[in-house]
Amino acid sequence: MTDLPLHGGDLAAAQARWGRPAQGWLDLSTGINPWPYPLPDVPSPCWQRLPDSAAHQALLEAAARRWDIPAQARVVAGNGSQALIQALPRVTPLTEVAILGPTYGEHARAWNAAGHRVHAVATAEEAGEAGAVVVVNPNNPDGRIIAPERLLELAGRLAARGGILVVDEAFCDERPDLSLTALVRPGLVVLRSFGKFFGLAGLRLGFAVAATEMAGRLADHLGPWPVSGPALAVGTTALADREWSTATIARLTAAAARLDAILGRAGLEIAGGTFLFRLARHDQAPAIYQRLGRAGILVRAFAFRPDILRFGLPGGTAEEQRLENALGG
């Protein structure tokens, strides 16, 4: 399969490929929480006025408290973590960039577009003398985990020669023990997603945690009003809601276990994943992908590994049953 979409969630492309399903699409192609954070009331001025600087500061403070940001670091908020993925290469001097892959493809695209020399490596040890190294931890799509102490050691080596380690923690909400946000120092930048865990990807909100100098460069590059007024209001409330987060982690973990069971009964081998998506292997994965598409169920296939499929979490019993029925033939 060479005509695969670059990202999940492209229902227009799915409809062009398979037609409109009678039951509507069941989109399991993204790693987004199917039980979103309940939207708080957003005051009318958030929609009517330019984003307020005090509200922006309140969001940054909520993020700093949630992730235990140290005094020598700052939080930078942007229009989704994608905006920060694109900004980082623009504020980094041209260098050789090693990206630990296979992983989320937008990292390579952004560094290439900014003129850096980019190559993929299979292990962090293969980065050599690269001036920048990018790691997604836990990784997308396979859920690979690198111990924080190894990443800190790598960050130290890079910083000693003026380099930078970028750690994308988009899927780290369930595993705070893996997060480096509380340990950020010069030479280390941590990216955090909001929309995936909180199930509000359309809000477009993301964060970078970096040492003061790099954070300042990022903020200057993004310019004024990098986050919308409604996103400031919703993000500040959600990040402070520890009770919802704790309950949601338990709910997602249980749902991932149920999905593993469904996939296992259909003969697929669990090959990795996180609490928001599961990676499964099967010799007939391309045929399964097509069969699911014809049944109106969109999952993620990968050109670099035709034997794997990535499944997001179904949003309830009816969706789980629909998936199980489709996998059954």
Average pLDDT, integer, range 28-45: 96
Q: Give me the number of domains the chain comprises.
A: 2
Over the stretch 58-101, which tens digit does the pLDDT of each residue have?
A: 999 999 999 999 999 999 999 999 999 999 999 999 999 999 99
Over the stretch 107-153, which tens digit does the pLDDT of each residue have?
A: 999 999 999 999 999 998 899 899 999 999 999 999 999 999 999 99
Q: How far is CA 192 from CA 10, 27, 134, 287, in A?
A: 23, 23, 14, 35
pLDDT band at residue 214 using 50, 70 and 90 as cut-offs? very high
pLDDT score of 9: 81
pLDDT band at residue 2 using 50, 70 and 90 as cut-offs? low
Residue 5 lies in a domain: no
Domain at 282, CATH number = 3.90.1150.10
Which of 240, 266, 287 is a domain's end point?
A: 240
Domain region containing 291 = 11-36+243-327
Q: Are residues 135 and 215 in the same domain?
A: yes
Q: Are residues 210 and 188 in the same domain?
A: yes
Between vectors from CA 12 to CA 8 and to CA 13, what angle results, nearest 5°?
65
pLDDT band at residue 8 using 50, 70 and 90 as cut-offs? confident
Q: Are residues 114 and 24 in the same domain?
A: no
Residue 3 lies in a domain: no
Model confidence at 5: pLDDT above 70: no
Residues counted in the chain: 329
Which of 240, 272, 297 is a domain's end point?
A: 240
Q: Are residues 260 and 204 in the same domain?
A: no
**pTM for this prediction:** 0.95
The pLDDT > 90 percentage for the chain reads: 94
pLDDT band at residue 6 using 50, 70 and 90 as cut-offs? low
Residue 31 lies in a domain: yes
Residue 305 lies in a domain: yes
Q: Are residues 255 and 231 in the same domain?
A: no
Q: Are residues 101 and 226 in the same domain?
A: yes
Q: Are residues 23 and 122 in the same domain?
A: no
